[in-house]
Amino acid sequence: VEIIESIEALWAARRGVGGRLGLVPTMGALHAGHLALVERARAESDVVWVTIFVNPLQFGPREDLSRYPRDLEGDLAKLAAAGVDLVFTPPLEAIYPPDFSTRVEVHGITARLEGERRPGHFVGVATVVTKLFALTQPHRAYFGKKDAQQLRVIRRLTRDLGFPIEIVPVATVREPDGLALSSRNLYLDPAERRAATALSRALHAARAAWLAGERGGEALRNTMWSVLEAEPLARIDYVSVADDATLEECARLTGPAVASLAVFIGATRLIDNVRLADDEPDPFAGAALATHQS
């Protein structure tokens, strides 16, 4: 696997690409969720590039930028084993030179949920993804459904700005007990790790109610709320059942929706979601969901 740090070297590498290029942008500390994106890219592309860049612009002043997990050596070993052709690991100044002055702002769908709780987050995401798209010019780019709002923001900016890039969503990879894989799971101590199953248990309960015919937004939000409230180590940031396209909260579900939540487990903020739609495969297939609280 070729490792590149400078923009000039990346341009040169891009000129040498023959065939279809698949891009997987990440912040490193790679786990099986990231590798699922890589695997999908590998299956659909002639050349696979991964970027590893912990993007300061998408972290708030009181967030975990300085302690965000980093493991470049481990990441590179995993990516080499996964058949990745090139890894772009730019230093901060390559992405943000000192007088960097440009921002990409997606309006509307960023007003709620993560965008509301994390002011500036999606400007950071949209700006870095736009720069990575411009630098790498992939045919396809792979993003996890785990970050449901991010996926919608990236689809929107890709269409709005006219990037000739296909955005490919990839199903959330979960631990056997249902917990969505996340680099931030590394922060959890053993008791918190057990408590963290409350997120997937809440989503599972909402999906079960939806499958049983419940279409009331408030009823579905309450279902999630009561599972989370029963977990002493969990503090709810938000619980949402929103329209799949607009992310507006649903009073009644008349079409595809997305149930999502953000929950502090101790000091660690975790997010997860499930799409409530007839065409969505069971996100918990094969999971042995924990039924007890810690």
Interacting residue ranges for ligand AMP, rule: CB under 6 A? 26-27, 33-34, 36-37, 143-144, 146-147, 170, 172-173, 180-183
- Cα→Cα distances 217→207, 211, 221, Å: 12, 14, 6
Min CB(21)–ligand AMP separation in Å = 17
Cβ at position 163, least distance to ligand AMP in Å? 16
Active site (catalytic) residues: 34
Q: What angle do CA 209, 211, 213 make, to 5 degrees?
A: 75
**How many CA atoms within 13 Å lie on the side-chain side of 255?**
6
Shortest Å distance, C-beta 5 to ligand AMP: 18
Cβ proximity to ligand AMP: between 82 and 181 the closer is 181
Q: From the CB of residue 212, how many other CB atoms can be counted at a distance below 10 Å? A: 7
Q: Whole-number minimum distance, CB 37 to ligand AMP, in Å?
A: 6
R_g over Cα of the chain: 19
Would you call 77 helix, strand, or coil by DSSP?
Answer: helix
Nearer to ligand AMP, 127 or 182 (CB): 182
For ligand AMP, give the closer residue by CB, 114 or 221. Answer: 114
Shortest Å distance, C-beta 272 to ligand AMP = 9
Element (H, E) at 193: helix 190-195
Query: 132 vs 253, which CB is nearer to ligand AMP?
Result: 132
Q: In sequence order, what are the beta bridge partners of 271? A: 262
Show Cβ contacts of residue 18 under 8 Å, excluding neighbours closer than 6 positions.
46, 47
Considering Cα of 104, then 51, then 244, then 175, what sign does the dihedral take? negative
In the complex with ligand AMP, the residue whose CB is nearer, 150 or 223, is 150
Distance CA 70, CA 64 (A): 12
**46: CB partners within 8 A, 6+ apart:** 17, 18, 19, 20, 21
